[in-house]
Amino acid sequence: MEQILATTLRSAAPLVLVATAGVFAFRAGIFHLGLEGLMITGAFTTVAVGDATGSVELGILAAVGVNLVLSALYWWVIGPLGANVIIAGLGLTSIGLGGTAFALGAIFDKRGSIFTDVVLPRPVRGITSGAGVIVSELSILVWITPLIVLTAWVVLRRSRFGLRLAAVGEYPFAARSVGVNPSIVRLQALLIAGALCALGGAELSVGALRNFTENMTNGRGFIAFVAVIFGAWHPIGAALAGLFFGFADAIGIQSQINITERVPREFVLMIPFVITIFAVWLGGLWRRRSLEAEAGYAELREPDY
Amino acid sequence: MTGSLQRVASTVVLVVVSLLLTALILWASGYPVGDVFSGIIQGAVTATGASTSTIRWAIPLLLIGLGVVVGFRAGFFNIGGQGQFYIGACCALAVSLGWREGPAPLVILCGTLAAIGAGTAWSLLPGYLRVRFGTDEVLTTLMMSFIGALVLQYLTAGPMRNPSGTGQTAASERIPDSFRITDSSGVSATVLVLVGGVAVLVWLLLERTRFGLSMTLVGRNPTMARWQGIDVRRVGLAAFALSGALAGLAGAVELYGPGARLVTGFSPEVGFTAVVVALVGLLTVGGTVVAAILFGGLQSAILFLPIVTDLPPPALVLLHGMVAFLVTIKFKAVWRRTGPEAKAAAG
């Protein structure tokens, strides 16, 4: 039982962080399918820079920096240059996955994975027996994740910026009419999202583990995006959805150990995707919202001949 | 016509820019760019068997890419080609392994039809949700794609696993050699005729039939299409079905051609690359053929490159990402506001 709880928290923390990133983007009206790419760049940069400098803090700072640059580029491409949000997002994911695997070969001359000595601090120490052992293995990022989610909630629901963000996502005309520049607000949202993805990636590579592996995000960025939808693009909802998917993952890992005979792991792994299809369907039935993202790719639906 | 010429020119420019950016990254990482590019030419065209290999990789890209074109034409965004491709291949495999003693042509026919049916079913679910309830098809096709990949993983690791297989990655049993329509090169007259025929049929359908015209109308302006008396839902469903059918067919061709067995997670990038191929091909049939050959050549080259340089294969994924990242840029871009945009059959 404690085992499942700890595995859940560990699997969920990166998901929740990246899902929070997705919420910021979604509220600005951007279907951010580049989350996966930003997440793996975060994981890689933390390990690469952390290993080179011997400081995990510098590693994370560098990861945040790289992701801010990538997010700004993404904004530039989909905003001022008018590229398709979905395609460019998927492209960003490929750039992240391909780029990190390539850099692994180019910088470290390795294929597959690298190990590192740097690791995130684990604030709870000194427990050597009982259920507490698991708690002491959780990194500091796991502990501050709830704080980040709460902050996101306050920012999105209670701050001027959050309300502007919602206005930009839901009805850019209204935002513009009160003197808000939707494009700048989108940039801000994407930058916040990029930084959060860096944290999520860092937790994956130096929080729970001490290595970077090619394609180690393994679709987590997409699951996080799913959590955004499933959580009705509310920071708390998305966090709970992330927690649930972390739980499903933990059960999947457990079922691999215990009950493989009865429930194949693949079916457990399908749950989030099946749920999402239902959630998207029902969500569409309950409320039809006009999202700027739809307009974003409507351009492709109506090619200029 | 200047408009379409502009589109061709801007796409070519963007693809070249992506290549240059990738080359810049390679150069900055200390790889000899000249050698890499000459290696790409060799691996795609001049080396022994290179052009065959280019065609072999172009075939699935072309079939899935045509599916994407059909979807786009009617205003839908099918990015789930990967899953439809996997499910098609799985069903063809199930038919072929279940009926080993059958006469080869009949088994191949049944397997191919099963693959087409499965691909169709896999895209019709998102399609139905889209035209009936207005559910966003980008998300649902993507989700169906992940589910398809897991189904393949389950089948190759479980029920269809080759029991005598010793490799680390799960793989199915091989289909009997008599069922194959190519040798391991993946190219034969049969396949070329089949794929060429499909491309011509899709072109005829889109450009020369009433149905193709109604699809284009639905894609451009569903409201107007409805006023013209077009059954928007039926046209939308047909577009989804055809789109999935083409991806499923690609799965069958892969199995009966170069594959002969299914390995978990095979050709992992093909579904996404096919979307890029369709976009680079400007969502036209002819353009998609050209783009598929281009990207097939790159795929073939990346498998060849380790012979001449020590370039890691993920460089190709990076390049694909770069092209996808940039290819939809509009030069006269303005962020378009929510206008009278295609809410397809939703209302």
Instruction: Supply the pLDDT for residue A132.
Output: 67
Q: pLDDT of A30-43, one tens digit each?
A: 989 999 999 999 99
Q: CA–CA separation, B236 vs B234, rounded Å?
A: 5
On whether any CB of chain B is under 8 Å from the CB of A81, the answer is: yes
Determine whether the interchain pair A299/B30 forms a contact, defined as Cβ–Cβ distance below 8 Å: no
Q: CA–CA separation, B319 vs B326, rounded Å?
A: 11
Which residues lie closer than 8 Å to A293 by C-beta, 6 or more apart?
A26, A29, A30, A31, A85
How many other β-carbons are positioned within 10 Å of the β-carbon of residue B29? Answer: 15
Helix, strand, coil share of chain B (percent; to 5) = 75, 0, 25
Q: CA–CA separation, A14 vs A207, rounded Å?
A: 9
pLDDT < 50: residue spans in chain B = 1, 333-347
Q: Is the dihedral of CA B276, B279, B283, B288 positive or negative?
A: negative
**A266 vs B154, B323, B338: nearest CB:** B154
Domain around B220:
2-346
A290: its two tokens: 């006009």
Number of domains forming the structure of chain B? 1
Instruction: Supply the pLDDT for residue A295.
Output: 41
On whether any CB of chain B is under 8 Å from the CB of A86, the answer is: yes
Task: With beta carbons less than 8 A apart as the criterion, state whether A134 and A6 touch.
Answer: yes
Instruction: Supply the pLDDT for residue A292.
Output: 37
CATH number of domain containing B121: 1.10.3470
Instruction: Supply the pLDDT for residue A253.
Output: 67
On whether any CB of chain B is under 8 Å from the CB of A184, the answer is: no
CA distance A286 to chain B (A): 11
Chain B's closest residue to A278, CA to CA, is B140
Distances (CA, A) of A160 to A148, A153, A154, A157, A211: 18, 13, 10, 9, 40
Q: What DSSP character marks residue B174?
A: P
Task: With beta carbons less than 8 A apart as the criterion, state whether B130 and B137 touch.
Answer: yes
Q: pLDDT of A90-110, one tens digit each?
A: 999 999 999 999 999 888 887
* pTM confidence score: 0.87
Determine whether the interchain pair A101/B312 forms a contact, defined as Cβ–Cβ distance below 8 Å: yes
Report how many Cβ contacts below 8 Å link chain A to chain B: 207
B205-208 contacts: CB < 8 A, separation 24 or more? B205/B242, B206/B69, B206/B70, B206/B73, B206/B285, B207/B285
For chain B, report the end-to-end CA distance as a whole number of angstroms. Answer: 34
ipTM of the complex: 0.85
Q: pLDDT of A183-199, one tens digit each?
A: 899 999 999 999 999 99
On whether any CB of chain B is under 8 Å from the CB of A261, the answer is: no
B151: its two tokens: 């189904």
Distances (CA, A) of B82 to B119, B193, B265: 10, 24, 10
Chain A's closest residue to B135, CA to CA, is A281
Chain A's closest residue to B129, CA to CA, is A281
Most confident by average pLDDT, A106-115, A244-253, B212-221 = B212-221
